[in-house]
A and B are shown apart, each in its own frame.
Chain A
Amino acid sequence: MSTEVVKLKPGSYKTDLKPVWCPGCGDFGVLNALYRAMAQLQLEPWNTVVLSGIGCSSRLPGYVATYGFNSVHGRALTLATGVKIARPETIVIAVGGDGDGMAIGGNHFMHACRRNLDVTYILMDNEIYGLTKGQTAPTTPTGDKTKSSFYGNPEPAVDPVELAISTGATFVARGFSGDMKTLTNLIVQAIQHRGFAFVNVMSPCVTFRGESQYGILKEKLRLVPEDHDPTDRLAALAFTREKDVLTTGILYNVDEPSLVDRIAHVRELAKAQGPEPTVKDILQTFFPSF
């Protein structure tokens, strides 16, 4: 019997489920970029887990023909940690929304960054809670009117990219769901990265933020300059402080031991201790004549 290697195409990663996102939702772009990135890397579906929290964006695992896990709101990264530790050889891709990752799951984000958890985390940032119909998210710009802020959002927003860099993520990128080519490339590199790879994707919610978001974002977005040194943390952070501009591309990328590496190291140290002493060994320590 001959074993023929079948080349997987982006379409190979599709499931029978038809996305229920609103027409024009940015998340379609993220899904297509992910299909392409997976095909480019020829990821084995049986060795890949796509995991999410809850939200419109978190429906994504159902549309990808790998192992999928649509978990509870805000906890994608905690569940991703368990899968990755139990099965370090699998590729783990966590996805979700800005509310999921920055509000209810905000503390987990910091710890995933800090531990350098070996997963790719794609945050579909639409600056709103889409699924619950348009309330302010921690990423909603100050002053923007939403269902929960009649006079405009009174609170300052968080920039997930800034948070990721400052809390220890080792790969941090910003993408746009309307720029398929760049986004595909960012996801490919994120999956290849060893350690926590974070891709914040500006992915408009046309229903609760309006179709104008595409235009507004296109005006603001620009590619990271070619001479940017992604190992320069301060330079990377500077891109998160810009006004009226949003820089896309890989902003930060360094090589550090990952969580899986560190856990493996601890196990080696433990093994080097040799076998457990017997009761007799212990007693002999105290009573040499025993």
Chain B
Amino acid sequence: MRMVLKGNGAVAHGVRLARAQVISAYPITPQTSIIEGLADMVSEGKLDAKFIKVESEHSALAGCISASSAGARVFTATSAQGLALMHELIHWAAGARLPIVLANVNRAMAPGWSIWTDQNDSLSQRDTGWMQVYCESSQEVVDSVIQAYKVSEKVLLPTMVILDAFFLSHTYEDVEVPEQSMVDGFLPPLDLPQKMDLERPAALGNLVFPDRYMEFRRKMDLAHDLALGVWEEVGREWGGLTGRSYGLVEEYRLEGAELVFVTAATAASTARVVIDAMREEGIPAGLLRLRVFRPFPAELLRGVLAGRKKVVVLDRNCSFGHHGIFHQEIKSALYGLPDAQRPPMYGFIAGLGGRDIRPDDIDGMLRGVWEGRITDPVSWWDVLEAKDPARAAVVMA
């Protein structure tokens, strides 16, 4: 069925179609309309789930963890401060190998307070063992939520489905919402192997001594390796059912591209327009959109980027003291290439705290690098630079 949905609405429909059984959440802008949508679906009888609005995000994820341990398919959604507050249990959910799906609407962290988009909230959770999928459109959101359950339940790792605040969460688009019967065939009811079971009583959350701890962690890492293939397989299967295939990354006009722009989320839509215009002019530019960021498709990226003349990475995030995060990771993935194959990389940090990234900005980055005017390995884009960088210790100049 075709519907006009904003990103948050698309999340709610995905969760409905996945037949989540327990939803535990706490409101926070710009996520709130996801759980409001789900609360409406539950009260209208469109979704047969137990919905509880708890007293904090920490409690929301705790509720998901225990309901999931009891064998239920669960869901929660949050953003920025809420995700940070969940952090202790974010580790827990992955360590306990629970197939929880969480939607995070990317929002900048305080202070200063901001409700607008950037990726530092979700990327701060990079090393927790969660899988992360960055979405570009409402269509991709609804499709990815459903796929996330399938992949999570196969490899027993939780997934964060991530969407940009407002640019995606609150922008209405034409979406093909799949039929329930089709989704039911794709995603069978959850049968969690290690769920709480009276026949096989077990205690959860025990102390693990140094002689065993590493083995549990090794298995998490192996599950991530496995998940790379599972995401590809599930994305292809989805394509067979709907005509919309998904991979770990999305390639756009990369054939013959010497200048490759890499980014994630909605900035990719803007980039596409710029790439088209540059191609028109004869500049051999192309786009690589990161979709699945954990597990990290290092080998795939190495293959796609090998031998290109220049690679430009746009990060809507920053690991203070060392580059944008996507930039770092891609650079380390390319390290294994022979010198002649390894393209020089140029990182841009832009759009933090929701600052708009317009076609002109991306055009400026790409042209600057292509024409050799920008040679710095990392640049902050469209920022009022401090007059005297040595005075950076003074917060308010």
- Give A106 to B55 CA distance when docked, in angstroms: 9
Interface size on A, residues (CB 8 A): 20
Could you tell me the distance in whole angstroms from the C-beta of B168 to the nearest C-beta in chain A? 19
User: By the criterion CB–CB under 8 Å, are A148 and B110 in contact?
Assistant: no
User: By the criterion CB–CB under 8 Å, are A138 and B55 in contact?
Assistant: yes
User: By the criterion CB–CB under 8 Å, are A129 and B27 in contact?
Assistant: yes
Dominant secondary structure at the A interface: loop
Q: Point out which of A54, A73, A106, A129 has the most chain B C-beta atoms below 10 A from its C-beta.
A: A73
- Give A138 to B40 CA distance when docked, in angstroms: 20
Could you tell me the distance in whole angstroms from the C-beta of B27 to the nearest C-beta in chain A? 4
- Give A106 to B54 CA distance when docked, in angstroms: 12
Task: Report chain B residues within 8 Å CB of A151.
Answer: 43
Interface size on B, residues (CB 8 A): 16
Could you tell me the distance in whole angstroms from the C-beta of B116 to the nearest C-beta in chain A? 16
B128 at the interface (CB under 8 A from A): no
Could you tell me the distance in whole angstroms from the C-beta of A43 to the nearest C-beta in chain B? 26
Chain B 13-54 near chain A by CB (<8 Å), digits 1 or 0 = 000000000000011110010011001100100000000010
Q: Given A70, A104, A133, which contacts B26 in the complex, CB threshold below 8 Å?
A: A104
Q: Given B39, B56, B81, B110, which contacts A150 in the complex, CB threshold below 8 Å?
A: B39
Task: Report chain A residues within 8 Å CB of B35.
Answer: 148
User: By the criterion CB–CB under 8 Å, are A133 and B32 in contact?
Assistant: yes
Chain A 91-117 near chain B by CB (<8 Å), digits 1 or 0 = 000000000000110100000000000
Q: Given B28, B40, B53, B113, which contacts A136 in the complex, CB threshold below 8 Å?
A: B53
Q: Point out which of B28, B36, B53, B56 has the most chain A C-beta atoms below 10 A from its C-beta.
A: B53
User: By the criterion CB–CB under 8 Å, are A103 and B55 in contact?
Assistant: yes
User: By the criterion CB–CB under 8 Å, are A74 and B27 in contact?
Assistant: no
User: By the criterion CB–CB under 8 Å, are A132 and B53 in contact?
Assistant: no
User: By the criterion CB–CB under 8 Å, are A103 and B56 in contact?
Assistant: yes
User: By the criterion CB–CB under 8 Å, are A150 and B27 in contact?
Assistant: no
A241 at the interface (CB under 8 A from B): no
Q: A132-B27, A135-B27 are in contact. List 13 more A-B contacts (CB 8 A).
A: A72-B81, A103-B55, A103-B56, A104-B26, A104-B56, A106-B55, A132-B28, A132-B32, A147-B39, A148-B35, A148-B39, A150-B39, A150-B43
Show 12 residue pairs from A and B whose CB-CB distance is below 8 angstroms, ordered by the A residue. Answer: A70-B113, A103-B26, A103-B56, A104-B56, A106-B55, A129-B27, A132-B27, A135-B32, A148-B27, A150-B39, A150-B40, A151-B43
B: residues with CB less than 8 A from A are 26-29, 32, 35-36, 39-40, 43, 53, 55-56, 81, 110, 113
